[in-house]
Amino acid sequence: MEQTSLGFPPLTVTVFIVLAISALAIDLIAHRKDKPISLKNASIWCLFWLSIGLGFGGFLYVQHGVEIASLYLTGYALEEVLSVDNLFVIMAIFAWFKIPHGYRHRVLYWGIIGAIVFRGIFVVIGTGLLALGPWVEMLFAVIVFFTAVMMLRANHDGEEIEDYSRHPANRLVRRFFPVYPKLVGNHFLLSAKEVKVDLSRPENKDFVFHVKKNVRYATPLFLCVAVVELSDVMFAFDSVPAVIAVSREPLIVYSAMMFAVLGLRTIYFVLEALRNHLVHLEKAVIFLLFFVSFKLGLNASEHIWHHGYEIGATASLGVVLTALAVGILSSFIFPAKDDK
């Protein structure tokens, strides 16, 4: 059977590309208007993206067998669960920039596009580095373990929301563009002619801003996108090694991450609505990071010392799904106590 450079036949690669582009186009057309997304609508779209992700897993099962399908589904579930913490951070970013609900899907769209691009780059680099030897895998294990420890400490310390005015992405944008301090529709950048402020509105009563001709201004919406993009890049440093721990096949890793990431926009709105209820879900994320670190270390030590111990694809999938289920169920069985 003919193979591509990705290690799979052309049919598999073609199905992946066509399925991903088609689903993304459908989602983009359906959400082209700046309207708030209800919990019901977001839940339906979550099922849509879940069916796409599982559908590709079914295709892999038919074409390549249970082992490949299990590797893909483990990576898919792992990326989905690990992205929960990223979504919590994005909620804080939206709140800080005061982004209206109707514009959040637009910001998430560009954030997801950036995530797809950067994860593709990281997957190529990560799988290439692993070819250098098991010590690279051991380094990945340390990185993931350190991330889990930092999350565990933050979870107990109750850290305050970051001041995003000092965020590196915010400061970088301000180096290239002057910033207009108010939202102007869904614009990311503004020309002088597009700057219009309704001074009759109470919130604009004392607003004064001198607009210069032939100058383009960045809006808070653009700053928000930049902060979301850089935050996602930082999260990719632990999520990519985590999924690579499942499989070293670039197509398996990237397809699992991509289909999981594509569904994050609608998962965000479900998670936002249920945030106060899913109080123990982050603990499941922390546990899985420790598990991934252990799996990476075990794999690396097997290549070095040949002790014969390893965690298979089916067992890994079971651990990921069990951790997710326990995190969700425990949140409803043991809800957070109301502060009085």
Q: Kindly report the length of the chain.
A: 340
pTM of the full structure: 0.79
The one-letter amino acid code at 81 reads: V
Q: What is the pLDDT of residues 125-182, one digit of tens each?
A: 887 877 777 788 788 788 888 878 877 776 544 444 567 888 889 999 999 888 888 8
Sign of the torsion angle spanned by Cα atoms 131, 230, 270, 38: negative
Q: What is the pLDDT of residues 180-206, one digit of tens each?
A: 888 877 888 887 676 665 444 555 555
Buried b (16+ CB within 10 A) or exposed e, 174-191: eeebeebeebbeebbebe
Distance CA 230, CA 86 (A): 11
Tell me: pLDDT of 1 over 70: no
- Percentage of the chain with pLDDT > 90? 9
Sign of the torsion angle spanned by Cα atoms 128, 132, 134, 139: negative
Tokens describing residue 314: 């089916």
Contact 79, 255 (CB under 8 A): no
**Residue 82 class from Cβ within 10 Å (0-12 exposed, 13-18 middle, 19+ buried)?**
buried
Distance CA 104, CA 91 (A): 10
**pLDDT class of 18 with cuts at 50, 70, 90:** very high
CA angle (120, 90, 239) in 5-degree steps: 35
Distance CA 292, CA 238 (A): 10
Q: What own/partner pairs with CB < 8 Å and gap ≥ 24 does 157-166 have?
A: 161/92, 161/95, 161/96, 162/92, 162/96, 163/96, 164/93, 164/96, 164/97, 164/227
The total of other beta-carbon atoms located within 10 Å of residue 219's CB is 24
The total of other beta-carbon atoms located within 10 Å of residue 29's CB is 8
